[in-house]
Structure 1
């Protein structure tokens, strides 16, 4: 059996950006980057089933900022329509070591992935996959993991060219989820937004250093780094844990008013009108 195991390390920078501004940034980036081969026009769906202990160990490790922390998830790329036990998914351990994000994952049929993570049963694997499969099984059993939340969003991805090989920028919008009905294939499951729908998460991922022109773009557009986790956001949005200082509240990021959406010249004219009237 050929190995289905993949692993990679990255540095990640996240920004919370209004959807309309994200479109402008994406168009600017497209002048120096290419669309990911797997990213069609309009993006693609990403759905993740996160596991945690009854005491939400992984959630609290994130909140407390542990330098080494892990989380386990099953991830499906694409729409959830027609997901069956034969659909291919990723079983992934995502861990943080200081500032470096490490991901290790294996492609499995969805039914086999649930057999491993939910039923805590050993599944068929190649010798090269043995260590990872055993780590997942040990983590599930020792930490008493069970499904905690499902998150989903629409993603557009760009990749770097030539000297920027290893650079990847993603834009995630319509970020939503649920705290029940944990099977991907449940057609009647209801999701709700966990981050206000007028906002998107822009993420810059690099192997080593961030290109200067990317940091220049962020500075010109007044983008501020933010600590946001879609999993943490879901846990807090559904009241499974107290809201932390990292929680994204809609009150803190209200949608723009109709006037704010108008061109700058038009807004200036409206603001100047009362002044001119008062001078007459």
Structure 2
């Protein structure tokens, strides 16, 4: 039986880029990188349910830039169509130690994950999985964690080849979420864009050092690093906390209007204020 536990450390660099430019960068990267085997043409859905304290402790730790911070989430890959208690999800602790991002997660049936995180019950596990399961349960009980926000987006992923093994670049678009209806299996829940729909988040993830040709590409295209968190963006977009320096203001990233080829349809320009269906791609 394959292990349900996974853990990895890496450095992450984030950029906020227009969707059209992201497509150009993706095509350029594809000359030196491979398509992730789990990333079909057009990408795949990623949905995360974040847990926090009633006082939003994890949110404020991010805002205050603590050297050590963590958060708990349940993550589902793909659409919500047909999600049942048997559907596989990942219970994940993501933490930051100085500049290193660490992720530890276990794959569980959705019903089991909910018993662990929502009902705060010990679930069946192997001896090897015990430390992580115990840590999740201790976090949920000690901090009184509760479902707080769902984020979702469409992701395309590339992976490094040859000397760049360990390099991963992702492009996340249609970044949206909700602050209620936290069950993944709810049919057609309403989500709202939390980042303007004409913008995407590009993340460069490396185990150690960023390849020189990646930094050269970023400089050549005038990409600027951003400190952005999809969870923080959701918290602030839904008015659960004041907007911080991390918040993406639409006024700072207006839709392109200079040429007909980059003009978005009128309906899409206002889409961030309109409800969209969870499974919509």
Match for residue 135 of structure 2? 135
Q: How far 1:258 moved relative to its partner?
A: 4.1
Report the Cα distance in structure 1 between the residues aligned to 2:139 and 2:173, rounded to whole angstroms.
Answer: 31
Gaps of 5+ in 1: 263-280
| Deviation at residue 87 of structure 1 after TM alignment | 0.2
What do residues 18-46 of structure 1 show as CA deviations (whole Å, max 9, x unaligned)? 00000000000000000000000000000
Structure number with higher helix proportion: 1
Q: Which residue of 2 aligns with 1:63?
A: 63
For 1:239 and 1:258, locate their aligned partners in 2 and report how far apart those are by CA, in whole Å: 32
Aligned to 2:30: 30
1:99-122 per-residue CA deviation (whole Å, 9 max, x = no partner) reads 000000000000000000000000
State the structure with more CA Rg.
1
The residue that corresponds to 1:46 in the other structure is: 46
Question: Deviations along 1:163-197, whole A, 9 cap, x unmatched?
Answer: 00000000000000000000001013100000000
Q: Please, what is the CA RMSD of the aligned residues?
A: 1.2
TM-score by length of 2: 0.92
Q: Is the 8 A contact 1:3 1:128 kept in 2?
A: no
Whether the 8 Å CA contact 1:2–1:126 is kept in 2: the answer is: no
Does residue 205 (structure 1) correspond to residue 217 (structure 2)? The answer is no
Aligned residue for 2:122, secondary structure, equals coil
1:250-269 map, 5 Å: 250-259=250-259, 261=261
1:36-115 superposed matches below 5 A: 36-115=36-115
The 2-side partners of 1:126 and 1:10 are apart by: 27
Residue equivalent to 2:180: 180
For residues 199-258 of structure 1, give each alpha carbon's deviation from its aligned partner in whole angstroms, at most 9, with x where no partner exists.
000000000000000000000000000000000000000000000011001011000104
Measured in 2, the distance between the counterparts of 1:81 and 1:241 equals 32
User: TM-score, structure 1 length as denominator?
Assistant: 0.92
| SS of residue matched to 2:190 | coil
Q: Which runs of 4+ in 1 moved over 2 A?
A: 258-262
Secondary structure of the 2:259 match is helix
CA distance in 1, matches of 2:45, 2:67: 30
Give SS of 1:191's match.
strand
